[in-house]
């Protein structure tokens, strides 16, 4: 991520920043996390727990990208998935997460200050890589979603290549996202990846996508296997219109 972009953290309006471009600014996240204890992007674990259970075995080693101040890692741990490494670019998020986990007895969960575009892990060392709303950050200045800016595509491909590299040969990448399949599939299905691409949806007014990419399982025709709807209808609840996800969604 270019640390020089948007170097002045924008003013917050209501629950979110005045422009979604703020989400590309590391200063924005540091400032936000210094005063915010918990914010769960999209939905909390209870809404997609069944999908985790369908896809993640309890003894899996898991890498979470962009943990922020989410409770996802604790929820995974409570469900028996105890070998977890969380990363975030924000030093503030990392420090606060380390303290929170230690204080609440989750001392086995590792939290590291790491850029997901430059993963410092060896090849094939995780069973699962998971992210919720973190890859979507890379899309906030993508321009036309049908034809994203080359700079966006470069960053996303760097991230995906890193994820693919650190996954074990039969590992899975779970991406929980606003991004609809017709925008994400061209990237997920780039020729260098050996994973299959499938997805489910969850949520009420907003639909969120729960992508599951199984490394080494790419079919010869490289088509995704949709288990949900490709273009969900939108019927927003008032609380969702007031939610910060709305600002985010208008851009990704
Ligand atoms: C939209 S928030 C999602 C937070 C959390 N995953 C959740 O579900 O609540 C995006 C998070 O990604 C982090 N982030 C942004 N760019 C990153 C990067 N290049 N590498 C690692 N983390 C990044 C931000 O600091 C922030 O914590």
32 against 243, higher pLDDT: 32
Distance 251 CA to ligand 1 centre (A): 16
Q: Is the pLDDT of residue 151 over 70?
A: yes
Residue 1 located in a structural domain: no
Mean of per-residue pLDDT scores for the chain: 86
User: Which structure tokens are listed for 228?
Assistant: 């949900």
Distance 225 CA to ligand 1 centre (A): 27
Distance 29 CA to ligand 1 centre (A): 8
pLDDT bucket at 192, cuts 50 / 70 / 90: very high
118-144: pLDDT as tens digits: 999 999 999 999 999 999 999 988 888
When divided into structural domains, the chain yields a total of: 1
Residue 2 located in a structural domain: no
| Burial of residue 19, with CB atoms counted within 10 A of its CB: 0-12 exposed, 13-18 middle, 19 or more buried | middle
Q: Is the CB of 68 under 6 A from ligand 1?
A: yes
| Dist. CA 84–CA 88, nearest whole Å | 13
Residue 109 located in a structural domain: yes
Structural domain harbouring 215: 39-239
Residue 252 located in a structural domain: no
| Dist. CA 68–CA 93, nearest whole Å | 5
Residue 8 located in a structural domain: no
pTM of the model: 0.87
Residue 130 located in a structural domain: yes
Q: Is the pLDDT of residue 9 over 60?
A: no
**HSE-up of residue 96 (Cα within 13 Å, Cβ side):** 21
Q: Is the pLDDT of residue 205 over 60?
A: yes
**HSE-up of residue 200 (Cα within 13 Å, Cβ side):** 12
49-67: pLDDT as tens digits: 999 999 999 999 999 999 9
Q: Is-contact 129 167, C-beta < 8 A?
A: yes
| Dist. CA 23–CA 29, nearest whole Å | 7
Residue 29 located in a structural domain: no
pLDDT of residue 72: 98
Choose one of 27, 64, 68, 244 to mutate for the ligand 1 pocket test, by most ligand atoms within 8 angstroms of C-beta: 68
Q: How many helices (H) and strands (E) does the chain have?
A: 9, 10
Nearest partner of 87 among 159, 6, 184, 194, judged by Cα: 159
Residue 85 located in a structural domain: yes
pLDDT of residue 242: 55
pLDDT bucket at 7, cuts 50 / 70 / 90: very low
pLDDT of residue 250: 57
Where residue 224 sits, what CATH number does that domain have?
3.40.50.150
């Amino acid at each position: 991520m270019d640390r020089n972009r948007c170097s002045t953290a924008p003013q917050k309006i209501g629950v979110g920043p005045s422009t979604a471009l703020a989400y590309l600014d590391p200063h924005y996240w540091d400032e936000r996390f210094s005063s915010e204890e918990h914010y769960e992007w999209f939905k909390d674990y209870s809404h997609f727990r069944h999908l985790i259970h369908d896809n993640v075995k309890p003894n899996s080693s898991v890498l979470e990208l962009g943990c922020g101040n989410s409770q996802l890692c604790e929820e995974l741990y409570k469900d028996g998935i105890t070998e977890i490494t969380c990363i975030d670019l924000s030093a503030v998020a990392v420090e606060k997460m380390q303290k929170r986990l230690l204080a609440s007895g989750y001392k086995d969960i590792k939290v590291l200050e790491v850029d997901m575009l430059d993963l410092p892990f060896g090849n094939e060392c995780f069973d699962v890589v998971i992210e919720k709303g973190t890859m979507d950050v890379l899309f906030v200045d993508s321009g036309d979603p049908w034809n994203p800016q080359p700079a966006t595509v470069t960053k996303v491909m760097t991230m995906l290549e890193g994820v693919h590299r650190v996954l074990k040969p039969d590992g899975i990448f779970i991406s929980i996202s606003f991004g609809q399949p017709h925008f994400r599939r061209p990237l997920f299905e780039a020729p260098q990846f050996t994973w299959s691409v499938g997805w489910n949806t969850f949520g009420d007014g907003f639909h969120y996508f729960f992508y599951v990419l199984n490394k080494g399982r790419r079919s010869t025709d490289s088509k995704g296997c949709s288990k949900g709807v490709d273009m969900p209808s939108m019927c927003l609840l008032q609380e969702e219109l007031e939610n910060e996800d709305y600002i985010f969604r208008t851009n990704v």
